[in-house]
Amino acid sequence: MTPKTSIQARVSPVRSLETVTRRSTGAAAGLRPEVVRLHHSKPEVPKISLHGVTLSYKTNDGKRLIALDNIDLKVRAGEFLCIVGPSGCGKSTLIHLIAGLHFPTSGQMMIDSNPITEPGTDRILIFQELGLFPWLTVGENVEFGMKMKGIPKAERQEKVRYYLQLVHLAQFKDSYTHQLSGGMRQRVALARALATEPDVLLMDEPFAALDAQTRDLLHDELERIWAETGRTIIFITHNVREAIRLADRVALMTFRPGKVKREYAIDLPRPRQLEDISVARTVRDILDDLREEIDKSLKEQYGEEVHA
Amino acid sequence: MSNSLPKKIARHGIFYAGLIGIWSLLAALKIWPPYVFPTPWGVWESLAAGFADHSFWIAIAVSMKRMLLGYGLSVVLGMILGLGVASNKFLEETMGGLLVSLQSLPSICWLPLAVLWFGLTEKAILFVVVMGSLLSVTIAMEDGRKQMPKIYKMAGRNLGAKGLQLFWYVLLPASLPFILSGLKQGWAFAWRSLISGEMIFISLGLGQLLMMGRDLNDMSQVIAVMLLIIGIGYIVDGLVFKALEYRLQQKWGLAVS
Ligand SMILES: Nc1ncnc2c1ncn2[C@@H]1O[C@H](COP(=O)(O)OP(=O)(O)OP(=O)(O)O)[C@@H](O)[C@H]1O
Ligand SMILES: [Mg+2]
C-alpha cells in the first residue's frame, strides 16, 4: 500500500476534467485517495467554486490585459489546495477575487453555493504585502478581525495571546510592526488571519520571507491547525516543494492568459518529509511543468521588450 | 554648527538678547514718541498688567474656546467632505475644483456675509473661523485619502470592517500621516481668521484687545497682545502638533513631513 504513484491524477491539459480527492490523513494515511469524476457521480457541494472567471485590467496605454482567463476551480470543504505558477500569472488576482475584494469581469464565484459579492469573515486572506496596520501594535493587529466581529474583549485578549504564542511572537505583543523583521511580520499576518477563525484561509505566499527552519515549523503548525479545525485552505506559493509538503491538490497556473493548466492530486501520507523519495519525485514532475511555464513567461516578457 | 541643546539655547539667547538690545537702543534714542515706539520694558509692563487684571486671561479663554469650537467643527466637516470628494468621481471633478478656487478667498471676506446672516454674534465669528480652515482640512483629507496605500483599505475590508467601522478604525488612522500637515495648516488658518474676525466688532477675544490698544493709543498693549498671539500659535504648534507628529513617527517608524 505504499503510495508509489506520486502523481495520482494527472489531469491532462484539458481543464474540464476536475478531480475531487478525499484527504488521506491520520489513520487513512497510505490509502490511495478516491478520485471522483464530477461528471459521473453526485458531488458534494464544493466549499468554493469558480466557474468561467475572467478578469482583465485596463493598462496605461488603454489596452486590456487579461489577467485571468476562464478559470474553473472547485475546492472541497476541508481541502488544502496549493496554487503555483510563474510570477505575474495572476495568482494574487485570483485570490483577491475569492476574498471578494474585486469583481471578476465575467464568471461566477460561489462559497457554500452563495455567490461571492463582498469580503466576509468566513474567508480571510493573508496578503502578499501583508497589509499589517502600522498604527496598531502587534497585539492590536491580531485582535482587529475579532473586534470587527464584535467578540468580547476578554475573549479577544485570550485569543491574541494564544495565536501570538503559536507563531512564537508572544513577547512582541506590544511592539509596532515596523520594529519587526520581514519574517516576523509574516507571522503576525498569519496570527491575525488565524485569530479571526475563518472557514477558509486564503494565503498569498505567506511564508516567502522566512528562513527554512521557521518555515518548517510553521508548515507543521499550519498542517496541525488544518487537520484539527477542518479549515479549507487555498495557499499560493512559488515553491513547489512547499506546495507538495502541504497540499491535497496542486493547481498549476499558466502565464498570460492566466489559466489553470493542470491539477495534481498529491497522494502522499502525512506528515510528509521533503527528503522522502516519493516527495522528491512529485516535486520534480511538477517543477518540470512549471519551468516550462516560467520559460514561456520570460520569453513573452523579453519579446515584449523587443517589440516595444 | 553643533546641535546640542545647550548650544542651541545659547544661540537663541544671543539672538533675542541682541534683538531686544537694538530695540531698547532705538527706544532710548527717542526718535519717535513712546506711543508710536514703546520700550521693551513698557511692553513687559503691559503684559504683566494684562495678566494681573485678568483681562488677558479672559481674552485667551474666549479666543481659545472659539478656536476649539470652530476648528473642531471644520475638522469634522472637512473630513466628511474630503472623504466624500475623494471617493466620488463626480464630486472630485466638480467640487474638487470649486474647493481649490475658493481657497484663494481670504476667509475674512466671509465676515460681511456672516454678519448679515447671524448679526454681530458669536456665530458670525465661528462661521469665519470654520470657513478659514474648512477648505484646507477638506483638501488635506482628500489628498490623504488618495495618497494612502490601498492595501490598508483592502486589509480592513478583508478582516470584516465595513462602513463607519472601516472609516474610523482603518481609513482615518491610515491617512493620518498624510493629513496631519493639512490639519496643521487648517489650524493656522483658523487662528488667523479668528483674530481678524475678533478685530471687527466687540467680541472679548484677543483680537478685540488688540483694537482696544489702538483705541487707547496704547502701543505697549498692542505689541503685548501681538506677542501673546504669536506665543499661543507657537505653543499649539510646538506642543500639540509636534507631539502628534512624534507619536505618528514612533508608531509608523517613518519620518512624517
Ligand atoms: N491593478 C492592476 N492594474 C493593471 N494590471 C495589473 C494590476 N494588478 C495586477 N496586474 C497585472 O496582472 C497580472 C497578474 O498579477 P498578479 O499580481 O495577480 O500576479 P501573481 O501571479 O500574483 O505574481 P507574483 O507571483 O509575482 O506575486 C500581472 O501581469 C500584472 O501586471
Ligand atoms: Mg502575487
Residue B80, domain member (yes or no): yes
Give the mutation candidate from B152, B158, B164, B244 for the A interface (greatest A CB count, under 10 A). B158
Output the CA A53–ligand 2 centroid distance in Å. 18
pLDDT digits (tens, 9 = 90+) for B132-144: 899 888 888 888 8
Q: Is A253 helix (H, G, I), strand (E, B) or coil?
A: strand
Residues B198 and B76 grouped into a single domain: yes
- How many Å from the N-terminal Cα to the C-terminal Cα in chain B? 23
CA angle, B80 then B81 then B84, to 5°: 85
Output the CA A286–ligand 2 centroid distance in Å. 19
CA angle, B138 then B144 then B147, to 5°: 145
Compare B89 and A104 and report the one with higher pLDDT: A104
Q: Is the pLDDT of residue A227 over 70?
A: yes
Residue B242 confidence (pLDDT):
87
pLDDT digits (tens, 9 = 90+) for B85-129: 877 888 888 887 888 888 888 888 888 888 899 888 888 889 999
The domains of chain A, with CATH numbers, are 7-122+232-307 (3.40.50.300)
Residue B257, domain member (yes or no): no
The predicted model gives B212-228 an average pLDDT of 87
Residues B1 and B60 grouped into a single domain: no
Residues B20 and B134 grouped into a single domain: no
Residue A195 confidence (pLDDT):
93
Residue B69 confidence (pLDDT):
93
Residues B115 and B149 grouped into a single domain: yes
**Residue whose C-alpha cell is 487707547:** B216
Q: Residue B82 maps to which CATH number?
A: 1.10.3720.10
Residue A304 confidence (pLDDT):
56
The predicted model gives B60-68 an average pLDDT of 91
Residues B144 and B173 grouped into a single domain: yes
| H or E element in which residue B21 lies | helix B5-28
Q: Domain count of chain B?
A: 2
Q: Helices marked H in A75-181 — which ranges?
A: 91-99, 138-149, 153-166
- The CB of A105 under 6 Å from ligand 1? The reply is no
What cell does B68 get? 476649539
The DSSP bridge pattern shows strands A200-204 and A35-37 to be: unpaired
Residue B10, domain member (yes or no): yes
Residues B142 and B214 grouped into a single domain: yes
Residue A23 confidence (pLDDT):
40
Residues B48 and B66 grouped into a single domain: yes
The predicted model gives A181-205 an average pLDDT of 91
Residue A163 confidence (pLDDT):
92
- The CB of A257 under 6 Å from ligand 1? The reply is no
- Report how many Cβ contacts below 8 Å link chain A to chain B: 64
Ligand 1 atom closest to A90 (CA): 18
Q: Are A266 and A10 in contact (CB under 8 A)?
A: no
If we measure between CA atoms, which residue out of B249, B100, B101, B244 comes closest to residue B180? B244
pLDDT digits (tens, 9 = 90+) for A258-299: 888 888 888 888 888 877 788 788 888 888 888 877 777 777
Question: Identity (one letter) of the amino acid at A45?
Answer: V
**CB-CB neighbors (< 8 A) of B152 in chain A:** 131, 133
CA angle, B59 then B63 then B64, to 5°: 115
Per-chain mean pLDDT for chain A: 81
pLDDT classification of A113: cutoffs 50, 70, 90: confident
Q: Helices marked H in chain A — which ranges?
A: 91-99, 138-149, 153-166, 182-195, 212-229, 240-246, 277-307
* Dist CA B211 CA B169 (whole Å): 45
Rounded alpha-carbon distances, angstroms, from residue B217 to A41, B34, B214, B220, B221 = 101, 10, 5, 9, 9
Residue B83, domain member (yes or no): yes
Q: Is the pLDDT of residue B194 over 70?
A: yes
The predicted model gives B164-175 an average pLDDT of 90
Q: What single-letter DSSP state applies at residue A137?
A: B
Q: Are B189 and B110 in contact (CB under 8 A)?
A: no
Mutate-to-test residue for ligand 1 from A56, A59, A89, A125, highest number of ligand atoms within 8 A of CB: A89
Residues B21 and B147 grouped into a single domain: no
Residues B26 and B42 grouped into a single domain: no
Residue B195, domain member (yes or no): yes
If we measure between CA atoms, which residue out of A149, A150, A187 comes closest to residue A170? A187
Q: Would the pTM of this model clear 0.80, i.e. be above it? A: no
Residues B22 and B112 grouped into a single domain: no
If we measure between CA atoms, which residue out of A119, A118, A117, A105 comes closest to residue A57? A105
Q: Is the pLDDT of residue A158 over 90?
A: yes
Residue A303 confidence (pLDDT):
64
Q: Are B180 and B245 in contact (CB under 8 A)?
A: yes
The domain of B244 spans 38-252
Residue B151 confidence (pLDDT):
93
pLDDT classification of B72: cutoffs 50, 70, 90: very high
pLDDT digits (tens, 9 = 90+) for A30-76: 334 444 444 444 557 888 999 988 998 888 888 888 888 888 999 99
* Dist CA B74 CA B86 (whole Å): 17
Q: Are A30 and A302 in contact (CB under 8 A)?
A: no
Residue A34 confidence (pLDDT):
41
Per-chain mean pLDDT for chain B: 86
* Dist CA B241 CA B111 (whole Å): 28
Nearest by CB to residue B159, choosing from A144, A178, A179, is: A144
